[in-house]
Amino acid sequence: MQRLRLSLITSLVLLIGSLALIGGGLAQSIDREKIARFVSFQSFLTNTRTAKFAAYRRLAGARVANAKAFEEMRSYILNYYEGVVIVSTFTTDGAFADCVTIESQPSLRRLGIKKLAPAPRSTAFKPISDRQVPGTVRYAPSLLQLGLKDQFGNRIACKSGTIPLQRITLERLVRFPTLRDFLSKTPNFHPGKQGRNDFKPDWEATHLHAHAWQFIDNFGGNSWLNLWNPSGDFTLSQQWYVADAPSGTQTAEGGWVNEPDRWGNSSVLFIYWTADGYNNTGCYNLDCAGFVQINSNWYLGGPWNHYSTFGGDQWGFELQWKLYQGNWWLFLKGPGDYEAVGYYPTSIYGAGGLANKATRVDYGGEVARKTGDAWPQMGSGRLAATGWQQAAFQEDIFYIPHDENDGFGVWTDLAPQDEGLPACFTVDFTPASAGGSWGSYIFFGGPGGMTCN
């Protein structure tokens, strides 16, 4: 009996210790960058109206090109928030998020949308085998569903009927030379980079992928993305759904990204779109008119409470894009079921290909360097061959063959491509026929370095 009692006490101590470690991990994740003081939404608007270029150009990390570029940023913020109704505010990782009513979000007003589209059901898949290959993964929950509070005691959550809108501040914008640089997907800090194509690594030699694609007519697709927190200027793991248009490449994208200039040191959830080859259209998340969010549970641009560890738990989330009746719907899945988060109306693609379907699916990693020095880490920072619990991966990779409510996906047959030197980045693809419970999957990534192309 005494041995049993000691065993129970020991188990209880270990449980409490584990909970403390988990709690500490959460606090570290959401408070890595402390905010000096809480700024209400009204104070933020007032400060923006009276802001002067001379003060902001002196901020640490400021790269704003000139007074004209600063004024464009200031005007953009004030116009962006016109008519937006704020219900509450919280902070995470050095950024403010305002919970705004769904009906007042900027995309509805600026795109002239009068009525929200009804969400379809997500598309499922049929596993070829339930054999666990290579291992068992863990779903990371949305930060907004954990009952946490920020450093000021505000609930990190949005009420039903509202959505989290990461605050676009001048402090964030002046880290970029121009407003278009802020809205652009990849670094553009030097002249002469107009007309670039995201899938060509030779534009100014600042941009590389280790990814795998398939040319196939599709209406979206799916993957489970393994979460990591690599270091460097710009590094991500994502999905692309791609079509061509006279204006240039068109995409709907999503995954996780680590870009300290934009979001601090934590990898965050992101989506992105372009209708003209990344030149004059597109933005991340809700930073411009485009994406219409309907779900209060997911924070675009927000950090996660768990990241994968070498030799330990492999955390991640499921992401699915689905073109249904004129809208590109985003679905996300944590520990529960898929949730419809919102959609890109196909009107943003004009008469381009993505208004009707995509012609390529693409999955994997991407890096860019802003300074011209070292290439960032990709994925976990380990090469694809290191495999399970070492390299980053995406699994359950399928495409959606029809414009239909619910339905089943088709496993991808991807062609892998390494754009960097093999010592820097690699990618390996396994088809569903050999993928067990993972279906089609890829391992990818690498340490980067000084010489990678």
Q: Domain for residue 14, yes or no? A: no
d(CA 165, CA 171): 16
Range from 52-66, 68-82, 123-137, 284-298 carrying the lowest mean pLDDT: 123-137
Q: Residue 27: pLDDT above 50?
A: no
Which domain does 153 fall in, by range? Answer: 41-186+203-445
Number of structural domains in the chain: 1
Determine the pLDDT at residue 182: 95
The C-alpha atoms of residue 178 and residue 183 are separated, in whole angstroms, by 9
In which element (H, E) is residue 365 found? strand 358-368
Judge whether 452 lies within some domain.
Answer: no
What is the DSSP track for 197-264? -TT-TTSTT-EEEEEEEEEEEESEEEEEEE-----SSEEEEEEEEEE--TT--EEEEEEEEE-HHHH-
pLDDT of residue 207: 84
Residue 105 has pLDDT above 60, yes or no: yes
Q: Strands (DSSP E) along 62-206, which ranges?
A: 86-92, 95-101, 138-139, 162-166
pLDDT level of residue 20 (50, 70, 90 thresholds): very low
Contacts by residues 371-376 (CB-CB < 8 Å, ≥ 24 positions apart): 371/233, 372/206, 373/450, 374/232, 374/448, 374/449, 374/450, 375/208, 375/232, 375/420, 375/424, 375/448, 375/449, 375/450, 375/452, 376/230, 376/231, 376/232, 376/233, 376/234, 376/235, 376/448
- Residues 273/288, Cβ–Cβ less than 8 Å: no
Q: Which residue's entry shows tokens 């070492």?
A: 390
pLDDT at 191: 37
User: pLDDT > 90: what percent of the chain?
Assistant: 81
Rounded to whole angstroms, the Cα distance separating 272 from 203 reads: 20
pLDDT at 23: 35
What is residue 395's three-state secondary structure?
Answer: strand
- Residue 278 tokens read as 């990344």
Does pLDDT of 2 surpass 50?
A: no
What was the pLDDT predicted at 206? 74
Task: Evaluate whether residue 15 is within a structural domain.
Answer: no
Q: Is residue 22 part of a domain?
A: no
Q: Which of 13-27, 274-288, 371-385 is predicted with the least confidence, judged by mean pLDDT? A: 13-27
- DSSP readout, 160-172? TTEEEEE---HHH
Reported as a pLDDT band with limits 50, 70 and 90, residue 202 is very low
- Calculate the alpha carbon distances from 20 to 24, 28, 38, 145 in Å: 6, 12, 27, 19
Domain-located, residue 287: yes
Residue 294 in domain: yes
What is the model's pLDDT at position 197? 45
Q: Is the pLDDT of residue 77 over 90?
A: yes
Do β-strands 220-226 and 392-399 pair in parallel, antiparallel, or remain unpaired?
A: antiparallel
Q: Is residue 197 part of a domain?
A: no
| In a domain? residue 3 | no
Tell me the average pLDDT of the chain.
89
How much is the pTM? 0.90
- Backbone phi, psi, residue 399, to 5°: -110, 160
What would the two tokens of residue 137 be? 């993964």
Assign 182 to helix, strand or coil: helix
How far apart CA 90 and CA 149 sit, in angstroms, is 8
The one-letter amino acid at 163:
I
134 Cβ contact partners less than 8 Å away, ≥ 6 residues apart: 387, 388, 438
Is 60 exceeded by the pLDDT of residue 183? yes
pLDDT digits (tens, 9 = 90+) for 335-344: 999 999 999 9
308 or 36: which leads in pLDDT: 308
On whether the CB atoms of residues 100 and 87 are closer than 8 A, the answer is: yes
For the chain, the first-to-last Cα distance in angstroms comes to 66
